[in-house]
Chains A and B, each alone.
Chain A
């Protein structure tokens, strides 16, 4: 699972208000190179919840992201860091934790399982 997906994921347990973001408990992180595409990154900047990305990256061991996205989006050094955090860090094993309930959604072999139990729906 990469942070581009994590930035979208929510806890859908019935009644939960604080469903996003999920806290990452990383057990195994792998880095995989991805081609740098500044246009795509700029497109993503509008969607990304920045703090969730920064916290998620930190949980995966990457601390280079600034606390705020700079005003000059076209700044290439920034985009390179953004690119690395968003697309090149892979959570292979770990959990995504609901901040309100503590419920852990497992991530195994890079795949999160977000299915709820019967009593959570």
Chain B
């Protein structure tokens, strides 16, 4: 994998930022890695991505359906608007940083705007509830992730609820990890910094990372199916390609994934290395079929600039999405640092860590 050049803006405090050689960037500034490996990617893949995002995650649906009738629900990082309007008795306002994704929402008549989840252009306490579904794992520093949580709490009324879900480092489908590219250690250090939450023996001893053989599904069959048939898979299950999850097919495990030319190691070795580093920073590929890439138009320049690569075997343009996957307890630790909110529920579901916060109610006299 080519080394990723990233402006070092990951340090925790403003003082440290000022001491950096590069121009001091506030926590609200978008780091390069997110511009290249989150924003540009979603902009390029938006319609294709949206076509795979239709299954409603039951846990999110349950949260939304539990809200009182007439609630104003703020969805920060709404993507293709899958959850907007899910509870017809509530009023949803969605925002996303991706203009193409927002366009898909507004074409459906949803009330949306283009905005940054780390810096919501909303006055405080307007919302009755807020949701952040599979968003925070695209933020590359702990401070930005914390800011995003603070924003969610800020914009809901006292007593209001916030649901946050993020991809877990502890994946139920271990084979997925072999398709992800762990980001090299020196950049992990820069982004994560000392005292990271990942230095727990729990990760090393986690049964999810056992060494039994890892069955892999046949990639191209999955892709074909995703294009033509409704899937029971859920977005909460992280996919390596556009397909959603299916029952595992028995097949010969591959030792090289589509980015194999950069990675000569066997999949088990990669996994072991990732374990050793308590790896939480990854590039996760997205395969955009050629015919979709032509429609998008963005892929020609992405290929030219090296942001994306062609996979002729699969007939796709391959983009990498940046993820910081969360380890057990990390989301809670981050949320408990937000002063005026309490954790009222926490759970692991389909390879995601999830949390429900409640904003402090006003004191009643």
- Of A7-15, A23-31, A56-64, A71-79, which binds chain B? A7-15
Binding site for A on B (CB under 8 A): 26, 28-29, 69-70, 72, 91, 93, 95, 97, 99, 102-103, 106, 111-116, 119-123, 126, 157
Residues of A within 8 A of B106 (CB): 109-111
Query: B97 contacts which of A14, A37, A110, A115 (Cβ < 8 Å)?
Result: A115
Query: Which 3 pairs show the lowest CB-CB distances between chains A and B?
Result: A114-B121, A113-B114, A40-B70
Q: What's the Cα separation between A19 and B121 when bound, in Å?
A: 9
Tell me, yes or no, whether A39 is within 8 Å of chain B by CB. yes
Judge whether A5 and B114 touch: CB under 8 Å. Answer: no
**Those of A1-51 within 8 Å (CB) of chain B:** 1-2, 4-5, 7-12, 14, 19-20, 37, 39-40, 43-44, 47
Judge whether A8 and B70 touch: CB under 8 Å. Answer: no
Residues of A within 8 A of B111 (CB): 1-2, 4-5
Judge whether A114 and B114 touch: CB under 8 Å. Answer: yes
Query: B70 contacts which of A9, A43, A111, A116 (Cβ < 8 Å)?
Result: A43
Residues of A within 8 A of B114 (CB): 111-115
Q: What's the Cα separation between A50 and B126 when bound, in Å?
A: 13
Shortest CB–CB separation between residue A114 and chain B, in angstroms?
4
Judge whether A39 and B121 touch: CB under 8 Å. Answer: no
In addition to A9-B113, A115-B116, 10 A-B residue pairs with Cβ atoms within 8 Å of each other are A1-B111, A5-B93, A9-B122, A39-B70, A40-B91, A47-B126, A111-B103, A112-B114, A114-B114, A115-B114
Judge whether A114 and B26 touch: CB under 8 Å. Answer: no
Q: What's the Cα separation between A37 and B157 when bound, in Å?
A: 22
Q: What's the Cα separation between A12 and B118 when bound, in Å?
A: 11
Given A111-B103, A118-B29, A5-B121 contact (CB < 8 Å) = no
Q: What's the Cα separation between A110 and B103 when bound, in Å?
A: 10
Q: What's the Cα separation between A39 and B70 when bound, in Å?
A: 8
Judge whether A12 and B121 touch: CB under 8 Å. Answer: yes
Shortest CB–CB separation between residue A16 and chain B, in angstroms?
11
Residues of A within 8 A of B95 (CB): 114
Given A40-B91, A109-B106, A115-B97, A10-B113 contact (CB < 8 Å) = no
Shortest CB–CB separation between residue B103 and chain A, in angstroms?
7
Q: What's the Cα separation between A73 and B91 when bound, in Å?
A: 20
Query: A111 contacts which of B26, B112, B123, B157 (Cβ < 8 Å)?
Result: B112
Q: What's the Cα separation between A111 and B126 when bound, in Å?
A: 19
Residues of A within 8 A of B70 (CB): 37, 39-40, 43
Residues of A within 8 A of B122 (CB): 8-10
Q: What's the Cα separation between A37 and B88 when bound, in Å?
A: 13
Judge whether B123 and A116 touch: CB under 8 Å. Answer: no
A49, closest chain B residue (CB): B123
Q: What's the Cα separation between A58 and B139 when bound, in Å?
A: 40
Residues of B within 8 A of A10 (CB): 121-123
Judge whether B123 and A121 touch: CB under 8 Å. Answer: no
Given A39-B69, A43-B70, A111-B102, A8-B119 contact (CB < 8 Å) = no
Residues of B within 8 A of A19 (CB): 123
Judge whether A14 and B26 touch: CB under 8 Å. Answer: yes
Residues of B within 8 A of A20 (CB): 123
Judge whether B91 and A114 touch: CB under 8 Å. Answer: no
Q: What's the Cα separation between A111 and B93 when bound, in Å?
A: 11
Query: B29 contacts which of A1, A9, A109, A121 (Cβ < 8 Å)?
Result: A121
Q: What's the Cα separation between A39 and B68 when bound, in Å?
A: 12
Q: What's the Cα separation between A111 and B120 when bound, in Å?
A: 15
Shortest CB–CB separation between residue B77 and chain A, in angstroms?
14
B111, closest chain A residue (CB): A5
Shortest CB–CB separation between residue A44 and chain B, in angstroms?
8
CB 8 Å contact bits of A94-121 with B (1 = contact, 0 = none) = 0000000000000001111111101001
Residues of A within 8 A of B29 (CB): 118, 121
Shortest CB–CB separation between residue A21 and chain B, in angstroms?
9
Shortest CB–CB separation between residue B36 and chain A, in angstroms?
15
B26, closest chain A residue (CB): A121
Given A5-B113, A47-B72, A11-B26 contact (CB < 8 Å) = no
Residues of B within 8 A of A4 (CB): 91, 93, 111
Residues of A within 8 A of B112 (CB): 111
Residues of A within 8 A of B102 (CB): 111
A1, closest chain B residue (CB): B113
Give the interface centre of B29, B106, B126 by most chain A CB atoms within 10 Å.
B126
Residues of B within 8 A of A39 (CB): 69-70
